[in-house]
Structure 1
Amino acid sequence: ARAELQRSEARYRLLAEHVADVIVTLDGEGRFLYVSPSAQALLGYAPDELAGRPLCDITPSAEAPRPGTVVELTVRCRDGTARWAEVNTAALPPGAGDGAVLVCVFRDISARKRLESDLKHLATTDGLTGAYNRRSFVEVCGQELRRTHRRARPTSLLLMDIDRFKRLNDRFGHAAGDEVLRQIVETGRRVLRSEDVVGRIGGDEFAVLLPATTLEQAGRVAEQLRTTYERLAVPARGGTATFTVSTGVAEWKPHLRTVEELLQRADCALYAAKNAGRNCVRTEEACGGRPQQDPPP
């Protein structure tokens, strides 16, 4: 029986020492007892560097994973970086030797997590500008507006449209037009706060949700953006492209039911800005209803 146990242990160690996954055993206090050599590749630690140390030295939790579970978590590497690992944990039978009570298998899933993140980014953002696409903008705004309702704080929305964007494209080319669209987001973010939500919701139409911002404050932000864009000069074929924006501003009200309703109120104000001559800001207070005719091209 002893010989069979020794052969079984030898097979286990042979397996543990030749797989990419990191196999560890833990004692009752969550300290490493055995660490397979593959820890060097995944974590940068030699096995003897981890022996006797608690699992929480490399994981965000102070507790060991529960037996019979598979969890995904980040692990801290020796050089201070973090990697994603899938951890499969099982209980060891009593008397397994050296006081081990758990065996954990760490599998590196960092590449999969990067792919998931990339796919999520592609699904939620506009590929040209990096802003949220319309669907994701509406979803994120819906979450923020629910928080607004609970906290009874003001929240406003800007709806911006590039003035005569087709003419700019026709004169300077689509490459210049694309750069103008990128600058709306890139330059705008230098003016906006980190908590403000930016979305490209149409061809040359952008929306910005401003949490904890009244209509009056949002109007000042819109005016700051307007003057910032007016001063920009975008290198283009055959010259330098300049552009202006018209902006409508609306504030969330408790009786509104959806983000789309808030967008409609801002759209009404945007039309008022267009009809006032473009390159200006109008709030919903000055809208007086959507005009019967679109502004001249």
Structure 2
Amino acid sequence: MPTTPKLSAKQQASTIAELQAKVATLSAQVNEQRAEHVRLQAILESAIHAIIVVNDQGLVVEWPGPAELLCGWTKEEIIGQSIFKIIPHRYRHMHQTYLPDVINGRRGHVFGKQIEAAILYHEDFEVPVELAVVLTRVDERCEFTIFIHNITERKEYEAQLHHISITDGMTEVFNRRGFMTLADKQLKLACRGNDDVFLLYADFDNMKWINDTHGHSAGDEALMETARILKKTFRQADLIGRVGGDEFTVLITDRKGDNSQEAVVKRLHEALEQANQGNRPFQIQLSLGTVHYDHDRPCSIADLMIQADQLMYEHKKQKKLEGVANYE
């Protein structure tokens, strides 16, 4: 049998030195990898955004502190668990079918983009977020790094801006833009259900007299009181708008068919009569026009308002002839 030649002492020393150098190199690489891991963990733990890492089975493998704060699950509760725990129930089926397609490369349009979505906070309530997903492939395996940013404050601010844009600042009912937009949607819904629809148009008879006699602050108070009366008279589901300086309109939808034009007007007259029994130096006097939407002759909200406006002016003329109100 062949024998392995013996190494000289010098060769042995050289071989040992080479092995020691390799061990030192490997040790340095391991230490560097450990240091890199520590640095990465420090970044993950101190990041403003939550950074979550998920494997190709949809299981959570990294869950730093910001993720705990945002999602409500501790690291001990979530590591090794499905990422679907933080996905709202109504989206889970879609994501369960979507994940395999992503892994197989059939879907990739979400990567590198910021997406507005919602996550579930500890199975309790939804949190609006903005997220971005990065796909990493290592040794035939996929990992997803998900960057999540809580946008609750931004959404609340946007909602406030939207409210301001469609609301009359003085009376806190819808302004003309808000009323027209929402009434158009409400009318379409009512048409689908064949609900009764009424539109009431109201205009002050005595606003100029109030302003000239008692000042514009009294006129403002009259407008605000009228809005309060309308809110008290009609349901929360009915749309109330201030569509002109001293003009208001109400869209009433009735699925049960309990209302009629006469009932709507009577209810408002009773509310006005009660409100005018106070000690104000002026009374609130309105001319009214109401129309019933004819499902057999469809029209727009704008057309319905024109019809109601014409009826309101007829009512105003009649009241002038009868001398039953203070006019400018």
Structure 1 residue 51 and structure 2 residue 79: aligned? yes
AA in 2 matched with 1:92: T
Larger mean CA deviation between 205-214 and 143-152 belongs to: 143-152
Q: Which residue of 2 aligns with 1:34?
A: 62
Q: Which residue of 1 aligns with 2:135?
A: 91
**Aligned mates of 1:26, 1:194 — CA distance in 2:** 46
Change beyond 3 A, Cα 1:29–1:172: farther
Asked if 2 retains the 8 angstrom alpha-carbon contact of 1:176 and 1:235, the reply is: no
Structure 2, unmatched stretches of 5+, are: 1-25, 100-109, 321-325
Q: Which residue of 1 aligns with 2:251?
A: 209
AA in 2 matched with 1:225: L
**Aligned mates of 2:247, 2:51 — CA distance in 1:** 53
Structure 1 residue 249 and structure 2 residue 290: aligned? yes
Q: Which residue of 1 aligns with 2:266?
A: 223
AA in 1 matched with 2:284: F
Larger mean CA deviation between 207-216 and 20-29 belongs to: 207-216
**Aligned mates of 2:80, 2:265 — CA distance in 1:** 59
**CA-to-aligned-CA distance 1:155-201 (integer Å, 9 cap, x gap):** 22100123312222334443343233223333322332232111110
**Aligned mates of 1:241, 1:58 — CA distance in 2:** 59
For the aligned residues, what is the CA RMSD? Answer: 3.4
SS in 1 for 2:153: helix
Q: Once the 2 structures are TM-superposed, how far is the Cα of residue 225 of structure 1 from its aligned partner? A: 1.8
**Aligned mates of 1:81, 1:40 — CA distance in 2:** 15
**CA-to-aligned-CA distance 1:203-230 (integer Å, 9 cap, x gap):** 1111111124779613312321221122
Q: Once the 2 structures are TM-superposed, how far is the Cα of residue 22 of structure 1 from its aligned partner? A: 0.4
**Aligned mates of 1:104, 1:87 — CA distance in 2:** 7
**CA-to-aligned-CA distance 1:114-163 (integer Å, 9 cap, x gap):** 22112211221211122221122222222233334444443221001233
**Aligned mates of 2:267, 2:81 — CA distance in 1:** 55
Change beyond 3 A, Cα 1:182–1:10: same
Equivalence map 1:1-297=2 (5 Å): 3=30, 5-60=33-88, 61-62=91-92, 63=95, 68=111, 70-77=114-121, 82-95=126-139, 101-212=143-254, 217-232=260-275, 239=280, 241-253=282-294, 254-255=296-297, 257-277=299-319, 297=328
Question: TM-score, normalised on structure 2?
Answer: 0.71
Runs (4+) of structure 1 moved beyond 6 Å? 213-216
AA in 2 matched with 1:269: L
Structure 1, unmatched stretches of 5+, are: 279-294
SS in 2 for 1:117: helix
Question: TM-score, normalised on structure 1?
Answer: 0.77
**Aligned mates of 1:188, 1:26 — CA distance in 2:** 54
Change beyond 3 A, Cα 1:91–1:211: same
Larger mean CA deviation between 2-11 and 16-25 belongs to: 2-11
Q: Give the total of aligned pairs.
A: 277
**Aligned mates of 1:233, 1:45 — CA distance in 2:** 58
Asked if 2 retains the 8 angstrom alpha-carbon contact of 1:161 and 1:205, the reply is: yes
Change beyond 3 A, Cα 1:31–1:178: farther
Q: Once the 2 structures are TM-superposed, how far is the Cα of residue 268 of structure 1 from its aligned partner? A: 1.3
SS in 1 for 2:137: coil
SS in 1 for 2:168: coil
**Aligned mates of 1:219, 1:31 — CA distance in 2:** 64
**Aligned mates of 1:130, 1:45 — CA distance in 2:** 41
Change beyond 3 A, Cα 1:55–1:131: farther
Q: Once the 2 structures are TM-superposed, how far is the Cα of residue 243 of structure 1 from its aligned partner? A: 1.5
Greater Cα radius of gyration, structure 1 or 2: 2
AA in 2 matched with 1:218: Q
**Aligned mates of 1:6, 1:234 — CA distance in 2:** 82
